[in-house]
Structure 1
């Protein structure tokens, strides 16, 4: 009987492979090398297993087998497989050999993989050190992956590799601290957003700051048939490559993941206008400074002032967010990308709920247009690299209600406290989703506020203004306290008297 790998075994082997780099390179950098190697090993093992099956089927007819292999999901040849690279592991130019193999994989799979490895250099002296150090690390990395058999027939579950990739990214994000939050949203937060927006068959699903793609994948997986189109954009080139590989490893081959600045240069365009989406999910960078610099022309950036007229897509007609805080820039982009009847959920810092000036005017416009559906307060310390509490804003086009639901899940008991990071459990997620779907007031947890109430609060959405979580303390019986103090004083006097007698006996 063929031994099969469990999810835990695959995860453990992969995490141990990181020992090659630990202490030498920051995990926010070396993650790219480990995850690319995982991708290459996986597609190579699929290639190898399928070729073995076809050779058996066609009696070792090499020509027939190669013809059949050309229809594979990914096309490889012998000089671009993991085994070929591994056999060259002791050569002095192993870094360049890996680069050439990756380039060859891209060339053989232009439609799917064009540019996916563009931002990673296995021969980089500035990152991996001098030739001797670099060759040693790459040799050990290849040896770490050699015995990990990722052929589909050896894996217990269909999603082992996709899950392993997510596991690795989550661990890298935790390890990388603040930098980790730039490319990964905790799985329970991704799960919450995907349940709130309820993706449906044939929806277009969009994330304008998609990172490694975890939010998009969660949303996509809510559609049993898998009939939906994924769109994303990511400014960081390495993270965009991770996202594309993540999609392939989750069997999403037609995701359209663009590379660029979503605000200054949105790349999902239709008929010269922003493309429209039925579902939008996002965890944008919190309060991004200088978010509008992509609109600045040549000259002194310090003199640049963002204006509504600079945006050809007219996203800032409701107000221009402050240059030092880009939260509403992303919100406005997403709202202008939302199709009729579309649903949108976005993670944001609490400041968007109450900050004034231009942000206050934007908030008022959004509320008056009846686009805001719910405000959900999350526990502190859920995200990598920041302990500040965040919130989820849910928006809908063509809303039936004329009110806004507020939910406060930040109180003790509504989440699991961790040593370094807090976590939303399944029961916590379900409590939030149930409250959202019922759209009713729940004492000390949820409150349905009318638009008039929000106007009375000057469009301030601070959750504590609406959800009363105040717990009355027990009444203090001052007479009993006085009696207790008298009793303690009496006991103290007796102890002091005894101590005096002991000291006297000792001649002290």
Structure 2
């Protein structure tokens, strides 16, 4: 069995094949796409072998040979039906990764064959439709000319062949995939904001949203700006019934949407538990014809994005109960917040990352914020360290929301100093996350860290939620001992005079070889005597 570290190294070695040919934001598409194709192919062969022999194959070559034999026998139709029912897709023997690898080793690899395999998976089930659309096997980014482009894919197939994806457990494989996504995000920098939430904030969001819901069977999790799906998938680590979680997610960018779909499979999420959609979250509400309210809502939307704020949205159920106001066209932050909150169950918890401006900006945002506070919807505000996210260096905050709770108090936590600096980013480690959770659960004032504001406190601050208004982190200047300061000044002055006197004596003893030098020394002595 491939250990996690070995698997990570193999997958990262695959990146080296593409590094230098294209931007990291582009080569993740090829590497992660081929890793997923290998996973589907290897799982397919292993499942076929198990159906034929009721055991796990010793290796993929054995599984390939058994499948080829069955494919050309009377067993073919029954076997393919069972595979389709179980896995939702089928592959011909010449479409497997094993076949592609053997061809690559013998310098007869055909991109047409690999494309045919992609197409077969696409056509097998709506679940896989367009999944490999971004993996352009004929792109000039792979090299100049057909041969170099083909060689790049061939080399990548050979490197990834060492990854044992059959025996890797779900968490090992899924976590390795998450690691790669994180590494690509780190290299890509600002372009990564669309597909990845760093580990620290992601864990904090999910752990907060999961509090009190750990034992719920059939938990409904929703992320309308899901990126690679990492936020939703993090929730399974804090559930005692992870195999029954239903995941609902929407993503605007098609390539990122495909990344999330792959991520679900590699975390062994059953197809019936995946409800993912490629679409504009604000433009048209979703979901609307299945589950529409969720136990857990986690979000890391694009900060201060533009949106239409068209008048028609004032009649949209998501936005219509907030004083007739909409989030401004130039800042969709509250539009995302209200969308997620609309889909939250009465007993659920929502946690969203937003820029600090949502806490104090006025005009329509001020009206919306006031309405949320009057309803007791805002449960907590947590200030995060700056430079946490790849797409911005500005400080951000987590806003926690609940429906129909007793009281309208708001917990404020200042976690801005809970980090360590690593390379270009600030990182929240487990100890930092644990401290925030401790403050969150205790829900009590702690000097310079947390404050539980009553509704009257919030009203007296004109519904401004800027954290420094509630949590005073200013360090008092130490009192100056004037007697001690006077004593030290006198001692310093005395020492200066003694040193000057010593220097004067040395200068007077000097013998000068020229008149110019003698005049210069005399002038220096005069200056010191006058000081």
TM-score by length of 2: 0.84
Instruction: Report the equivalent of 1:230.
Output: 247
Offset at residue 350 of structure 1 (A)? 0.4
Q: Structure 1's 403 and 170: CA in aligned 2 closer, same or farther, altered over 3 A?
A: same
Contact 1:197 1:343 in 2 (8 A): yes
1:148 aligns with 2:163: yes
1:73 aligns with 2:87: yes
Q: Deviation per CA, 1:190-241, whole angstroms, max 9, x where unpaired? A: 1111111124322321101000001100123322222221100000000000
Q: Equivalences for 1:147-226 in 2 at 5 Å?
A: 147-152=162-167, 155=168, 157-198=169-210, 199=213, 200-225=216-241, 226=243
Instruction: Report the equivalent of 1:466.
Output: 470
Q: Equivalences for 1:39-50 in 2 at 5 Å?
A: 39-50=36-47
Offset at residue 499 of structure 1 (A)? 5.5
Contact 2:377 2:408 in 1 (8 A): no
In 2: Cα distance, 1:115 partner to 1:351 partner? 38
Q: Structure 1's 286 and 128: CA in aligned 2 closer, same or farther, altered over 3 A?
A: farther
1:443 aligns with 2:426: no
Give SS of 2:425's match: coil
Offset at residue 151 of structure 1 (A)? 2.1
Q: Structure 1's 79 and 441: CA in aligned 2 closer, same or farther, altered over 3 A?
A: same
In 1: Cα distance, 2:512 partner to 2:112 partner? 85
Of the three residues 403, 426, 430, the one matched with 1:426 is 430
Q: Structure 1's 506 and 39: CA in aligned 2 closer, same or farther, altered over 3 A?
A: farther
Contact 2:221 2:247 in 1 (8 A): yes
Of the three residues 476, 480, 483, the one matched with 1:476 is 480
Instruction: Report the equivalent of 1:137.
Output: 152
Contact 2:378 2:399 in 1 (8 A): yes
**Two-structure CA RMSD over aligned residues (Å):** 2.6
Q: Equivalences for 1:484-503 in 2 at 5 Å?
A: 484-495=488-499, 501=506
Instruction: Report the equivalent of 1:382.
Output: 388
Q: Structure 1's 309 and 241: CA in aligned 2 closer, same or farther, altered over 3 A?
A: closer
In 2: Cα distance, 1:189 partner to 1:335 partner? 19
Count matched residues.
484
Offset at residue 91 of structure 1 (A)? 7.0
Contact 1:376 1:393 in 2 (8 A): yes
In 1: Cα distance, 2:9 partner to 2:267 partner? 19
Q: Equivalences for 1:25-36 in 2 at 5 Å?
A: 25-36=22-33
Contact 1:96 1:123 in 2 (8 A): no
Contact 2:170 2:266 in 1 (8 A): no
TM-score by length of 1: 0.88
Offset at residue 312 of structure 1 (A)? 4.2
Instruction: Report the equivalent of 1:297.
Output: none
Give SS of 1:343's match: strand
Q: Equivalences for 1:54-453 in 2 at 5 Å?
A: 54-57=51-54, 62=70, 63-64=74-75, 66=79, 68-73=82-87, 75-77=89-91, 78-89=93-104, 94-108=110-124, 110-125=125-140, 130-152=145-167, 155=168, 157-198=169-210, 199=213, 200-225=216-241, 226-252=243-269, 253=271, 254-270=273-289, 275-288=292-305, 290-292=306-308, 306-309=310-313, 312-318=316-322, 319-411=325-417, 414-453=418-457
Q: Structure 1's 129 and 246: CA in aligned 2 closer, same or farther, altered over 3 A?
A: farther
In 2: Cα distance, 1:184 partner to 1:210 partner? 9
Q: Which has the larger radius of gyration?
A: 2
Return the structure number with greater helix share.
2
Q: Structure 1's 267 and 485: CA in aligned 2 closer, same or farther, altered over 3 A?
A: same
In 1: Cα distance, 2:185 partner to 2:27 partner? 12
Give SS of 1:159's match: helix
Q: Deviation per CA, 1:280-330, whole angstroms, max 9, x where unpaired? A: 110001111x222xxxxxxxxxxxx62255654452441211111110010
Instruction: Report the equivalent of 1:15.
Output: 12
Contact 2:304 2:330 in 1 (8 A): yes
Q: Structure 1's 386 and 45: CA in aligned 2 closer, same or farther, altered over 3 A?
A: same
Query: Which range moves more in the overlay, 139-148 or 80-89?
Result: 80-89
Q: Structure 1's 314 and 448: CA in aligned 2 closer, same or farther, altered over 3 A?
A: closer
Contact 1:287 1:324 in 2 (8 A): yes
Q: Structure 1's 71 and 321: CA in aligned 2 closer, same or farther, altered over 3 A?
A: closer
In 2: Cα distance, 1:96 partner to 1:481 partner? 83
Question: Structure 2: 5+ residue runs without aligned partners?
Answer: 56-64, 518-531
